[in-house]
Amino acid sequence: MRIGILTGGGDCPGLNAVIRAVAKSLMRQCQAEVIGIRDGFAGLMAPEPLTQTLDWSQVSGILMQGGTILGTSNRANPLGRPALLERTLQNARQLGLEALVVIGGDGTMEIAHELAVQGLPVVGVPKTIDNDIAGCERSFGFDTAVATVTDALERIQTTGQSHSRVMVVETMGRYAGWIALEAGLAGAADVILLPEIDYDIEWVAQVCRERELHQRFTVVCVGEGAKPLGGQMTVERRIEGSPEPVRLGGVAHVLAAELQTRLQSEVRATVLGHVQRGGSPTPFDRVLATQFGNQAAQLVMAGQFNRMVTLQHGQMANIALRDVAHHHRNVPLDHPLLQAARQIGVCLGDRL
Ligand code: F6P
């Protein structure tokens, strides 16, 4: 068997753990030849495909390594470009790939789905720090990002407390508030603002004013997709050609400026940015990534294609790529963590 593997979209901790598990499982169980495609779909769309044959030694010792040994791209997108799509399929045929394992987020799964529709046998593996892939209750990378943000919030709190400041900390997460919610709770944020709940600036200011009287400092954890009532999300840039061209970012500065006009305390903003995507995966993410990788290899060997491996009710499962493509998984408004946050007095930006 000759199996291709690529990592697409933004990187996240645990990608190498998946590559290792897919390759080792296929090599051990069916002596497969595993071909790494370099730089995500860019490597398969290129006039000469960018590949490297992976042997056992290349996928050993990478479990705990951040990033991806294969490289990735968040711009390479053959969708809506028939000539590029045809070249991608042609390259896969020429390489003699019997299947392609695609590790990526929702944009990557949309491309994987289209390739599957066009006849390429594909198995998807869900990756993203955002935890927003449809049909998957936990994507690897998320736990590591939450740990990083939690650590940052603890550090921000001690300096904020010393200076009696309001500290606004922005997390990634795109249109889903999972990182802000879980890290905000783990890092004892006083205010957590999510894309799913539009915030009332007057109410957030009121909460900070009350804390000015007693605790004298406030930590606000805001997801990059959060927006004020009646307002817009803060867009940092557009990346043309990317499956998801909009890049959010900067809401912490917008919020800090608005709060500053309403408060006596000094307000400071910190945008955590790509630090959340870097570094070594947590033990949880290493285990999840290993399970996903092994599960993907099992699907390949069983000839079950056009599916994505997933975690459902704490168990390995798999779902059709068509049920993943073009869907997002947001924080439901009745999620128990939202209720718990409210009940312990965390402000979620609304007046509930
Ligand atoms: O999807 C992962 C993610 O890190 C988002 O949280 C963030 O909005 C986006 O990617 C940033 O992408 P880029 O690295 O292309 O700026």
Distance 47 CA to ligand 1 centre (A): 28
How distant, in Å, are the alpha carbons of 140, 304, 330, 332 from that of 132? 11, 24, 6, 11
Query: How high is the pLDDT of residue 252?
Result: 98
Residues classed as catalytic: 130
Closest residue by Cα to atom 16, ligand 1, is 247
Judge contact between 6 and 53, C-beta under 8 A: no
Which residue from 31, 38, 42, 36 is spatially nearest to 19, judged by alpha carbons?
Answer: 36
Which residue among 68, 73, 75, 130 has the greatest number of ligand 1 atoms within 8 angstroms of its CB, and so is best to mutate?
130
Residues of the chain scoring pLDDT < 50? none
Q: Is 105 in the pocket of ligand 1 (CB under 6 A)?
A: yes
Residues whose CB is less than 8 angstroms from the CB of residue 2 and which lie 6 or more positions away in sequence, other chains included: 32, 33, 35, 95, 96, 97, 98
For 201, other C-beta atoms within 10 Å of its C-beta total 17
Query: Rounded to whole angstroms, how far apart are CA atoms 265 and 259?
Result: 9
141, 6, 17, 3: which is closest to 70 by C-alpha? 6
Which atom belonging to ligand 1 lies closest to the Cα atom of 247? 8
Res 240: pLDDT = 87
Q: What is the pLDDT of residue 326?
A: 86
Provide the pLDDT for residue 352: 87
Q: What gap in Å lies between CA 45 and CA 201, rounded to an integer?
A: 46
Q: Which atom of ligand 1 is nearest to the CA of 276?
A: 4
Q: Which pLDDT score, from 0 to 100, does residue 315 have? A: 97
Tell me, in angstroms, the distance from the centre of ligand 1 to residue 241's CA. Answer: 15
| pLDDT score of 243 | 80
Residue pair 72/8 in contact (Cβ under 8 Å)? The answer is yes
How far is ligand 1, taken at its centre, from the CA of residue 277, in Å?
8
* pLDDT of res. 345: 97
Beta bridge partners of 54: 34
Cβ atoms of 284 and 314 within 8 Å: the answer is no
Q: What's residue 285's pLDDT?
A: 98
- Enter the tokens of residue 52: 């490297």
Residue 329 CB partners (closer than 8 Å, separation 6+): 131, 132, 133, 134, 135, 136, 176
Find out whether the beta carbon of 248 lies less than 6 Å from any atom of ligand 1. Answer: yes
Position in ligand 1 atom list of the atom nearest CA 174: 8
Indicate whether residue 177 lines ligand 1 (CB < 6 A): no
Tell whether ligand 1 has an atom less than 6 A from the beta carbon of residue 233: no
Q: Which of 12, 77, 129, 240 to mutate to test the pocket of ligand 1 (most atoms within 8 A of CB)?
A: 129
DSSP 64: T
- Separation of alpha carbons 239 and 218, rounded Å: 35
